[in-house]
Amino acid sequence: MMALLEVEDLRVAYGKIEAVKGISFSVEAGEVVTLIGTNGAGKTTTLRTLSGLLKPLAGKITFEGQVLNGVGAHKIVSMGLAHSPEGRRIFPRLSIEENLQLGAFLRKDTDGIARDIDSAYERFPILGERRRQAAGTLSGGEQQMLAMGRALMSRPKLLMLDEPSMGLSPIMMQKIMATISELKSAGTTILLVEQNAQAALSLADHGHVMEIGSITLSGTGEELLHDESVRKAYLGED
């Protein structure tokens, strides 16, 4: 069976600087796949390319058998790929509810949108309690919940999360990771970019280590979590 997402020999450059140097990986429906690696490895560039925000230099991206190369960002959202970006990028002056509505900008089913906003409030009660408040008043972890809630509003077949744990307290981080686990149990397919390798590998079915634009190691989350080189480089062990 064909994977939901297939990335083949993808290369992406900023001018002359090649940030992604020919990576290949796939994501099966129902899986959580993680890309781990340090700052500058090319993880964010990869996600932005999958979303249609950057154009690949070479390679092939296929989603549900359809080639995504050259497809516009809006169309990619409508095909079922949602992106919760690094740094959350919520709209601080808009209310929480308005931010969620923006995640449904391509949908016309008003009743369905209202139901999904209610589901977001069930999943994240704090968002419901503060629905009329400016999103900028939320804490970092709450803003991350909003960013995830907003991405889910497009009813994605694949949810891409870029460093959801960034800048969060350990408790908030655990909460966000638990939410990702719940989404996985509910059948959501997730591509997770993380610098927190321990947390990401613990819940991922498969993982790939990225280093300066290349995938240097791949395995199940479990395999990578116990891999000696991963433990040394990313889990802070001697």
Residues lying near ligand ATP in the complex (CB under 6 A): 14, 17, 19, 37, 39-45, 86, 195
CB of 37 to ligand ATP, least distance (A): 6
Most distant pair of Cα atoms in the chain: their distance: 55
Name the residue nearer to ligand ATP (CB basis): 195 or 202.
Answer: 195
The nearer residue to ligand ATP, 36 or 151, going by C-beta atoms, is: 36
Pairing relationship of beta strands 206-211 and 32-36 according to DSSP bridges: parallel
Closest approach, Cβ 120 to ligand ATP, in A, equals 26
Residue with Cβ nearer ligand ATP (39 or 66): 39
Which amino acid would we find at residue 155? Answer: R
Minimum distance from residue 93 beta carbon to ligand ATP (Å) = 25
How far apart CA 202 and CA 205 sit, in angstroms, is 9
Count of beta carbons in the 10 Å neighbourhood of residue 237: 9
Structure tokens at 41: 């490895």
Nearer to ligand ATP, 41 or 224 (CB): 41
CB of 112 to ligand ATP, least distance (A): 33
Residue number, 19 or 215, with CB nearest to ligand ATP: 19
Alpha-carbon span 123 to 167, nearest angstrom: 22
Instruction: Report, in Å, the least distance between residue 135 CB and ligand ATP.
Output: 22
Nearest to 48 by CA among 18, 86, 6: 86
48-69 core/surface letters (b: 16 or more CB in 10 A; e: else): bbbbbebebeebebbbbeeebe
Within 146-205, strands assigned E span 158-162, 189-194
C-alpha 91 chain-centroid distance: 18
Nearer to ligand ATP, 23 or 100 (CB): 23
Q: Shortest approach of ligand ATP to residue 206 CB, angstroms?
A: 18
In angstroms, rounded to a whole number, what is the distance separating the alpha carbons of residues 85 and 116? 20
Between CA 65 and CA 139 the distance in angstroms is 39
- The least distance separating ligand ATP from the CB of residue 44, rounded to whole angstroms, comes to 3
Residue 10: strand, helix, or coil: strand
Q: Is the CB of 42 or the CB of 141 nearer to ligand ATP?
A: 42
